[in-house]
Amino acid sequence: MFTTLKRFFDFCNEEDRKKLYLAIGLGVLKAVFAALRITAIGAVVMGILDDNMSNKNIWLAVAILAVSVVGQLIINQKTTMLQTESGYHSCSHKRIEIAEHLRYLPMGYFNDNSLGHITSVTTNTMENLADVATRVVMLTTQGILTTFVITVFVYAFDWRIGLLLTAGIAVYALINAAMQKKTRKGAPIQQKANRDLVAAVIEFIQGIAEVKNYNLVSSRAKKLESAIKAKQNGDTHLEFDVIPYITLQEIVTKLTGVLMCAISVYFYINGSMSLLYCIMMMISSFMIYESLDVMAGFSALIRSVAICVDQANEILSIPEMDINGDDITPASHDIQLKNITFAYENRNIINGVDLTIPERTTTAIVGPSGGGKTTLTNLMARFWDVKSGEVLLGGRNVKDYSFDSLMRNFSFVFQRVYLFEDTIANNIRFGEPDAPMEKVIEAAKKARCHDFIMSLPEGYDTVIGEGGASLSGGEKQRISIARAIMKDSPVIILDEATANVDPENEAELTTAIEELTKEKTIIMIAHRLKTVEHADQIVVIDDGRVVQQGRHSELMQQNGIYRTFVEDRKKAVSWKL
């Protein structure tokens, strides 16, 4: 338990950790104020026993009780504020820290499997820590402190009852340790079920169109229902696991209190304890029961706190790419790949590629699916680090650049466009949040999306759904191009940007791309003939290697993948029913 508490304190940042330590320090004072109630009652009992219950004794007892109650109220308010602030602030800081950390992780980390885990940690896990962890930690530590203070108080008056109380606490601690051991098995299962549920919900919502299209609602709903039931079972089993231990703890605390009362009375009867001390020991027994009883219920959640901390630290422990380079402005925007290789999960994807892309030229990358085209462009922009060889921008290794200064040189238009649930204007100015509206409109006009934006109910202030769900594919692509135009980077990477666009939008999209790519270094991945045949150079990638390279006319003279690619496309276009 104490190890977990320390790990939670270490998890918090320094400022919030100080607040927790202050709250614990005040908790000691609160426990002392609580113990004053015994002194107040003792003063009253002493006056009654001595048959000398004067106004002075009464007012002394009232004053002690008042100090005890008011002191506890003030400290309780302060500790509640401290633990609330530290809890929510720590989790908000950790969310920001995780977000910043994710920003500099290799792109290979982000896949369908990691999405549910990341979402679960940044939402549910952090929410549990903010709402539950600090309360669990503070109530547990408060229970420990109050028990310690009262135990010291009992020892000060009668060591025999003190030994009995210590024995009861020891049995309580053994049961608690057994409960912690039991939760080591159940808590990870519960947390995994929670993570799997988040992933299942995300998958179901994101794929709902395909699910309906292929009439798979029933089967996909069963998968989601299975995840929900697994979460339910995980929660239920964990509760059932700890209930017997919590019950045993409560029995031990009650029996300890009963034995303290009974033996105190026995000592009084045989004359080895005064009536005053006997009554004070009986009162102490009830206070011990109260503090241990509160701790019993919340200490069962300690293991869940540990798992939440572990999950957040797991993401934060993933090695970042070395992005602490120099703030470099390259003299040119030539790109060179020198004998680069790259492997992912022990599978070679890029195998010894040499390539030069002069600035302000257009390079088209074609090849079979899975051949390494997208990976190659990702290595150019340092979304991943090469295993060997080097990638140069303007004659400097991309590893020499700081991440931000490197990203200033690249703009991307992907096949799958993601737009944020915000206004269209803010989506366009995403890379330049303070850009004036005039610049936004200018970029939109160049991207050929101004007209359809103005036809929307609120124009540029229209809030679009998450992911751009309320727009067509072509409209989303043109907004992403407007966003790239706003950034105005010298190198543009187009990853099959027109692959899934309907013919109605293709002409507008092509014009938008022409506006985006004027006087730029263009690297495009494409499957359509007319988007590559005018390129300055065409690079054919297969199995992670450059198998052909040249202009369209040159490659058409060779027997190879490119000519087969072109001929197959021509056959497909000329085919008629």
pLDDT tens readout for residues 186-213: 667 776 777 777 767 766 766 665 555 5
pLDDT at 576: 43
Distance CA 321, CA 103 (A): 10
Show Cβ contacts of residue 570 under 8 Å, excluding neighbours closer than 6 positions.
529
Phi, psi of 289 (to 5 degrees): -60, -40
Provide the 8-state DSSP code for 358.
-
> Nearest-CA neighbor of 408 among 327, 525, 477, 483?
327
b or e along 91-108 (b: 16 or more beta carbons within 10 Å of the residue's beta carbon)? beebbeebeeebeebbeb
Cβ-contact 392, 386 below 8 angstroms: no
Longest pairwise C-alpha distance within the chain: 120
Looking at 264-387, which runs of residues are DSSP E strands?
Answer: 335-344, 347-357, 362-366
| pLDDT attached to residue 466 | 63
Q: Are the C-beta atoms of 556 and 515 separated by less than 8 Å?
A: no
Kind plus residue range of the DSSP H or E element containing 516: helix 503-516
Exposure string for 207-236, b = 16+ CB within 10 A, e = fewer: eeeebeeeeeeeebeeeeeebeebbeebee
Residue 362's DSSP bridge partners are 522
Q: Residue 307 corresponds to which tokens in the numbers above?
A: 């798992």
pLDDT score recorded for residue 104: 76
Whether residue 421 contacts residue 481, with contact meaning beta carbons closer than 8 Å, is answered with no
SS3 536: coil
Instruction: Give the phi and the psi of residue 386 in degrees, each rounded to 5.
Output: -70, 150
> In this structure, are strands 362-366 and 521-525 parallel, antiparallel, or unpaired?
parallel
| DSSP assigned state of 398 | G
- Beta bridge mates, 463: 423
Of 296, 66, 60, the closest CA to residue 168 belongs to: 296
Find where tokens 């159940």 sit: 186
CA distances from 249 to 132, 290, 298, 551 (A): 21, 12, 12, 80
Write the CA distances from 211 to 264, 291, 386, 534, integer angstroms. Answer: 72, 54, 38, 39
Name the strands in the sheet holding 537-542, side by side, starting at the edge strand that comes first in the sequence: 410-414, 491-495, 521-525, 362-366, 537-542, 545-550
352: left (phi over 0), alpha (psi -120 to 50) or beta: left
Coil, helix or strand for 212? helix
List, in sequence order, every beta strand (DSSP E) within 326-404. Answer: 335-344, 347-357, 362-366, 388-393, 396-397
Query: Residue 322: helix, strand or coil by DSSP?
Result: coil
How many helices and strands, by DSSP H and E, does the chain display?
20, 10
The angle at the Cα of 422, spanning 417 to 425, to the nearest 5 degrees, equals 85
Residues 6+ apart with CB under 8 A from 154: 161, 162, 165, 281, 284
CATH code 3.40.50.620 for 327-409+491-499+519-577: no
What's 418-488's CATH class?
alpha beta
Measured CA to CA, the distance from residue 113 to residue 90 in angstroms comes to 27
Burial 460-493 (b: 16+ CB within 10 A, else e): bebebeebbeebebbbbbbbbbbbbbbbebbbbb
Can you give the pLDDT of all 577 residues of the chain as single tens digits?
667 777 777 777 788 878 878 887 887 788 778 777 777 777 776 666 666 656 666 777 778 778 878 888 888 888 878 877 777 787 888 888 888 888 777 766 665 556 667 777 777 778 777 777 777 777 777 777 778 888 888 898 889 999 998 998 899 888 888 887 777 776 677 767 777 777 677 667 666 655 555 555 566 677 777 878 887 777 777 778 778 888 888 888 888 888 998 999 999 899 898 887 888 888 888 777 777 776 766 666 676 677 778 778 878 887 777 777 888 888 888 999 999 999 877 788 888 889 999 988 888 898 888 888 888 888 888 888 888 999 999 989 988 988 888 888 888 887 777 778 888 888 888 877 788 898 888 888 888 888 888 888 888 888 887 666 667 777 888 888 888 888 888 898 887 655 555 555 566 666 777 776 777 888 888 766 666 777 889 898 988 898 888 888 888 888 888 888 877 777 655 544 3
Q: What share of the chain is helix, strand, coil (3-state, %, to 5)?
A: 65, 10, 20
Specify the pLDDT at position 341: 92
Distance CA 479, CA 458 (A): 16
Pairing outcome for strands 410-414 and 362-366: unpaired
Residue range(s) occupied by CATH 1.20.1560.10 in the chain: 2-316
Contact of 36 with 68, CB cutoff 8 Å: yes
Would you call 557 helix, strand, or coil by DSSP? coil
In which residue ranges of the chain is CATH 3.40.50.300 found?
Answer: 327-409+491-499+519-577, 418-488
The CATH number of 2-316, from 1.10.357.10, 3.40.50.720, 1.20.1560.10, 3.90.650.10, is 1.20.1560.10
DSSP-assigned letter for residue 387: S
Q: Exposed, middle or buried by CB within 10 Å (0-12, 13-18, 19+), for 389?
A: middle
Task: Say how far apart CA 432 and CA 445 lie, in whole Å.
Answer: 17
On whether the CB atoms of residues 321 and 104 are closer than 8 A, the answer is: yes
For residue 263, the model assigns a pLDDT of 92
Pairing of strands 335-344, 347-357: antiparallel
